[in-house]
Structure 1
Amino acid sequence: MQKLFVRSLLSLPGSWLVAASGGKPVTIEERTLDPRLQFLAAMAKRQPGLETMAPADARKAAAAGLAMLDGEPAHDIDVAEIEIPADGRSIRARTYKPRLPNRLVPTLVYFHMGGCVIGDLETCHVFCSEIAFRAGCLVVSVDYRLAPEHKYPAAVDDALSAFRWVRENAKALGGNPNRVAIGGDSAGGYLSAVVSQEMKRANEKAPVLQLLIYPAVDWLSETASMTAFAQAYPLTAPVMDYFRRQYFADPEKEIPELKASPGRCTDLSGLPPAFIYTAGHDPLVDQGRDYAEALKVAGVPVIYRCYDHLAHGFTAMSGAVPGAKVALAEIVETLRRAIG
């Protein structure tokens, strides 16, 4: 019922939504926020912030919020639950396979958003199904361990184990072992950047490309957008501080490490081609832009696009924010052309 109510409100004309949420469009650094996101931001201010909750409660609240905004999953694909072996235990994962008989399809290992504290396979379920269906590739979505139950570098270790396993077992899953890419949004983009760098340092077979959507590549960034969008919806400075406290046992020692802040790497040469997408109203927008520029300077092929009117988390908003749906379609089409 609440989902239908919110969707009906968001279907009102943009001018009405702006009038109901401050009266004037929200424009910061010459970027005007989508009216639907402006309205959602106004609604969110009436609710407790995630940073005030215990992690278990924050996970439930975030999942409920995203469920109201996400679209419907693609159906003409095969979805299966799998377990990835890793150091005597297993990592839960979900595969999304297009129905393309008699061919091995490209593969994308995907990591969900959530600051390494919240989120799970459901967080990116719709987006992963769309990638599989529209890009024609096998998607392996990884349910990496979360903090504070599992502190840094547990999420990184799981990401590395998952990528290596998929790379070696892609054919058995129906994927082309020579066309394995990596990707994720926010914390998932962070993990994807780390894996790409670690494969280079270990002289291992790297992903064929890295898809980084509003990636967090430095846990103590001091870029201008961190201040300008400190109270943006849905990712705020207090929420980022909360994630940082939960994820790191010793922030002063651990955050400078390249497995924690891949954006601080000084040698980016030889990394896989990068497709980097950011949201204009997001504290992380400068991180993504700066990382894209640094990769270009290092000679790495880069596609970069900022969706000025969107906010952090738009991969899970396609059911309520038409602009998010358009952005995801563009991202998936670009991926299809590159990875096919």
Structure 2
Amino acid sequence: MAFSLGFFAYLSLKIRATLLRIVFKLQNRRPFRQHQLLAAQIPVTKKRVRIPSRDPGRFIVADVYYPHSLSNSPTAAAPVLVNWHGSGWVLPYHGSDALFCARVAHEANIVVVDADYRKGPEHPHPATFYDVEDTLRWVGSKTPSSSSAALPRFDTTRVAVSGFSAGACEALIAGSVLRKTLSHLVTIVAIVAIYPPADLTLASTARTVPRPVNPLPTFMLDLFMDSYIPDRSQRADPKASPAHVAEEDFAGVVVVVTADGDTLAPEAEVLAKRLDVKGRRVVLTEVKGVGHGFDKGGVEGGREWKAREEAYGVAVEELRRALEV
């Protein structure tokens, strides 16, 4: 029998999620704008596309970034990175990774697809999983939608996935569960997961580190989880929780970036160490003195700025290596 949250329980989540969205929008207006301005200075082309979903008449919004060199080679097939933003599966933060996407496109000379996805509590699990799957199906299609006819061709044999926070969790699932089921469409060779949650069965109070830096409050973590997967019995679903995916399903390259002040770091590190087996390249980088979301904002030369440069540098280097560019 399908899980039913109940009207009043849903209404409570909806009200709290709406208030949190308002607060986050006000608090993050400046760093979001800062990232957009920094991204605009990088010599790449950005195009907004609408990706068909499995639901008739509904589309998934995505921004496609690619270096100018690919505009001059329309017949050449380019490797692709598909990215999903952080959100706690609740916050509408598509576009918050603009700087990362622009830098990877420019510095690694690849196409980056920065895709949105549905959020809870309006669209609980598995809605996000379906959007991630539909985005990868679009990437793997031989003829992308007519709205993106001007895009460079995708080399579907060289595909990587990445994400931040909740989006990093989705990237880990895309690079394992969906890597297997969509192998006839795309060959996912690498995963880049930056400060991901990895085990959604953990209680919020169990997430601790010795020296937390601006940790996510437990009430917020509970709101995120209750909005995303209100049915607790589904939190061990491999389509939602990377820690419960068989290790052999993951891509051959896995890059995990954590922050020592982030309470989500331990579970990500446990997963990375479990995946570090013969035949797979696992790169686990812990940046020091910063917390969750450290790359969003920060002043030039400051601790967060340096941590961001370290994390993005690792991502670019490993993507170039994995995608052979």
Give the TM bin, normalised by the shorter chain.
Answer: 0.7 to 0.9
SS at structure 2 position matched to 1:276:
strand
Distance 1:310 1:111 in 2: 22
Q: Give the equivalent residue in structure 1 for 2:195.
A: 214
Deviation, 1:208, is 1.5
Deviation, 1:291, is 0.9
Q: Give the equivalent residue in structure 2 for 1:59.
A: 21
Unaligned stretches of 5+ residues in structure 1: 1-50
**Native 8 Å contact 1:190 1:217 kept in 2:** yes
Unaligned stretches of 5+ residues in structure 2: 1-12
Residue 290 (1) aligns with residue 270 (2): yes
**Native 8 Å contact 2:91 2:119 kept in 1:** yes
Deviation, 1:222, is 5.9
| Within-5 A mapping of 1:231-246 | 232-246=213-227
Residue 277 (1) aligns with residue 260 (2): no
> Alpha carbons of 1:232 and 1:322: their partners in 2 closer, same or farther (altered >3 Å)?
closer
**Native 8 Å contact 1:83 1:91 kept in 2:** yes
Distance 2:92 2:111 in 1: 21
Q: Give the equivalent residue in structure 2 for 1:32.
A: none
Identity of aligned residues (%): 26
> Alpha carbons of 1:260 and 1:177: their partners in 2 closer, same or farther (altered >3 Å)?
closer
TM-score (norm 1): 0.76
- Give 4+ residue runs of structure 1 displaced > 4 Å after superposition: 169-172, 222-225, 229-232
Q: Which moved more, 1:142-151 or 1:190-199?
A: 190-199
Query: Which of 64, 77, 84 is equivalent to 2:44?
Result: 77
Q: Give the equivalent residue in structure 2 for 1:37.
A: none
Deviation, 1:234, is 4.9
**Paired positions, count:** 288
Q: Give the equivalent residue in structure 1 for 2:314.
A: 331
Q: Deviations over 1:16-54 (max 9, x none)?
A: xxxxxxxxxxxxxxxxxxxxxxxxxxxxxxxxxxx9973
Q: Give the equivalent residue in structure 2 for 1:107.
A: 80
> Alpha carbons of 1:60 and 1:98: their partners in 2 closer, same or farther (altered >3 Å)?
farther
Q: Deviations over 1:315-336 (max 9, x none)?
A: 3235563223322442343223
| Within-5 A mapping of 1:74-223 | 74-87=41-54, 88=56, 89-100=58-69, 101-102=72-73, 103-169=76-142, 173-174=151-152, 175-202=154-181, 204=183, 205-221=186-202
SS at structure 1 position matched to 2:141:
helix
SS at structure 1 position matched to 2:61:
strand
Deviation, 1:186, is 0.9
Structure 2 counterpart of 1:164, one-letter code: R
> Alpha carbons of 1:65 and 1:137: their partners in 2 closer, same or farther (altered >3 Å)?
farther
**Native 8 Å contact 2:213 2:290 kept in 1:** no
Distance 1:85 1:97 in 2: 21
Q: Give the equivalent residue in structure 1 for 2:293.
A: 313
Distance 2:28 2:215 in 1: 10
> Alpha carbons of 1:66 and 1:225: their partners in 2 closer, same or farther (altered >3 Å)?
farther
Structure 1 counterpart of 2:63, one-letter code: R
